[in-house]
Amino acid sequence: MTAAADTMDGPAREAAAAPLLACAGLTMRFGGLVALDALDLHVAQGEILGLIGPNGSGKTTFFNVLTGLYRASGGRIAFAGRDITGLAPQAVYRAGIARTFQRSRLCLPLTVFDNVMIGNHLRLSHGACFNVFRRGALRRQYDEAVGAARSLAATFNAQLAARLFDAAGTLDMIDRRRVEICRALVNTPRLLLLDEPSAGMTRGETRELMDDILQVRAARPALTIVIIEHEMNVIERMTQRCVVLNYGSKIAEGPFRAVAADRGVQEAYLGQAVA
């Protein structure tokens, strides 16, 4: 333990060690179907956690419950020490949680800039009085927004930053994914949820996008990431720890190599353990 840690009192040390996200007994039912079954899950600040499991195991349902798209049937969600169970999506977003979706949610006729700024709409002034009578402030806000969007895009790709005012529909798949991640990051969240970011991309594009995400993470070391992925090479490369779901329940947890060797995980994926 460091000298600084030695000087911390009990409550301060406990607060420092507390997870950024803690879910206890999280349950989601759709009629008679239990999509999440009393799930306990925690994520430390700055951690990159992989959430894996067969199709239908509850991974995206977990994201939807966490971000307020679904109201949990039971259990509790704490984020940064605050109970956020049952909050609306806007309130969850304000609390510092942002996400991407497996299927693209870009507005393709809109520009890259417009799509990124959709993620920052809660910080922008929209009133008619502001827009009509405070033209100087409006211009400053617009210039700041352009700078923020360009800076984010440049973190991923200089060519993408140069295409800030091109329609998103003119971009290839990897750049569309980059724009979606920029939109999630523009409000500087503390927790970023990535739902199968490699979907629809080639192996080369996947590797390039993961390089981008790790570069963003290096620039923001406090950023916490939970990533859902079916590409196990991505999970092995990106994550420090994995949680494996099956039928809404957690069946394994730990470093990738440990969970990949787990017989229960092998049976969930393959129907039988590897001999």
Q: What average pLDDT does range 238-254 have in this prediction?
A: 96
If pLDDT is split at 50, 70 and 90, which confidence band does 3 have? very low
pLDDT for res 2? 40
pLDDT for res 12? 42
pLDDT over 80 at 10, yes or no: no
pLDDT over 60 at 127, yes or no: no
pLDDT over 90 at 129, yes or no: no
Burial class (CB in 10 A: 0-12, 13-18, 19+), 122: exposed
pLDDT over 80 at 105, yes or no: yes
pLDDT over 60 at 138, yes or no: no
If pLDDT is split at 50, 70 and 90, which confidence band does 136 have? low
On average, the pLDDT of the chain sits at 87
pLDDT over 90 at 131, yes or no: no
Q: By C-alpha distance, which of 21, 34, 22 is closest to 72?
A: 34
Q: What average pLDDT does range 194-208 have in this prediction?
A: 93
Does residue 81 come out as left (phi exceeding 0), alpha (psi in the -120 to 50 range) or beta?
left
Sign of CA dihedral 88, 181, 112, 145: positive
Name the one residue in this structure whose structure tokens are 């419950």.
65
User: Is the distance from CB of 236 to CB of 256 less than 8 angstroms?
Assistant: yes
Supply 200's token pair: 């629809």
- Flag the least confident range among 40-49, 139-148, 237-246: 139-148
Q: Which helix (H) or strand (E) holds 127?
A: none
pLDDT for res 141? 67
Q: 38-48: per-residue pLDDT in tens?
A: 999 999 999 99
pLDDT for res 5? 40
- Flag the least confident range among 134-143, 153-162, 213-222: 134-143
If pLDDT is split at 50, 70 and 90, which confidence band does 123 have? low
Q: Which helix (H) or strand (E) holds 16?
A: helix 10-17
pLDDT over 90 at 15, yes or no: no
- Flag the least confident range among 16-20, 156-160, 217-221, 226-230: 16-20
